[in-house]
Chains A and B, each alone.
Chain A
Amino acid sequence: MSALLDLWTVVLVSAGAVFYLAGTVGLLRFPDALTRLHALTKADNLGLGLVVLGLVPQVGGVIIGIKLVAVWLLVMVSGACVAQLIARLVRHGSDPAP
């Protein structure tokens, strides 16, 4: 069982690392600011999500596991909000607030 859980961790954390790599490659290769924004927010969100899910069996406790997932969800929501702000900044260069 523990070997299976370890395998789960290795596979998911590795996949997460690959998506971090994808985020960096996109951030460096994509041609303009808005396409780079896609690369950053989407790839890194998934990367962090996979790392978190991979770590859950290793933390030794349901409550800490839930907390880890909560961290990921909060990062996802705040990342999505900041991404919109950056997009508005690039597109309109003006304050999005009414």
Chain B
Amino acid sequence: MTAQALRALPSPRAAALGRAFTLALIWLLLMPSAKPGDLAVGAFAVVAATLVSLRLYAPAAGSIHLRSLLALMPHFIWQSVLAGFDVARRAFDPRLPLQPGFVMCPLDFPEGIARNTFATITSMMPGTVPCGEIDGVLEYHCLDIREPVVESLWAEERRLARALTAGRRHG
């Protein structure tokens, strides 16, 4: 458990620009067209989406380092493939091998974007779905609590520590 905020938070201006740039990229992927009309609608959508995102997620709540996160993409996708196989194996098994239960997973990520992103990503991992927080500690539902769930979540935390910058700690 050595996940510390390795990177400084970007300035609010840089955060806004970064988000607008990312959203514009997504728009261009989904609407690959260079007609002025399409681009105008896209620009409007990007500005609106950026404003909403800044309102819902203040830049001080933390930030995501997109390139590090993208570098981890193959790992996440492979994990979600394993998760699909894991569920399919259990669903088709006549004996229905399940040992569902809850575990608490204390993390170094404080509340904010970093922890929420961590929760979202780990919800695609084999056998775990985050189902809320108790006193600031993430609680996970597991398909099989006989497996070392918390250890593998901590391994993911170490992987993600570089990609997710935590928000300012309270106090």
Whether chain A touches chain B in the assembled complex (some CB pair under 8 Å)? yes
Partner of B141, one of A23, A63, A81, A91: A91
Closest to B128 in A: A38
Q: Are A42 and B124 in contact (CB under 8 A)?
A: yes
Partner of A39, one of B77, B87, B120, B126: B87
Q: Are B100 and A19 in contact (CB under 8 A)?
A: no
Main secondary structure of the interface of A (DSSP, over half): helix
* A43 and B84 in contact, given A92-B132, A96-B132 (Cβ under 8 angstroms): yes
Q: How long is the Cα–Cα vector from A66 to B32 in the complex, in angstroms? A: 10
Interface residues on A, range: 35 or more
Inside 8 A of A88's CB, which chain B residues have their CB?
131-132
Q: Are B80 and A45 in contact (CB under 8 A)?
A: yes
Asked whether A70 is an interface residue with its Cβ less than 8 Å from the other chain, the reply is: yes
Residues on A facing B (Cβ under 8 Å): 18-19, 22-23, 25-26, 29-32, 34-35, 37-39, 41-43, 45-47, 49, 63, 66-67, 70-71, 76-77, 80-81, 83-84, 87-88, 90-92, 96
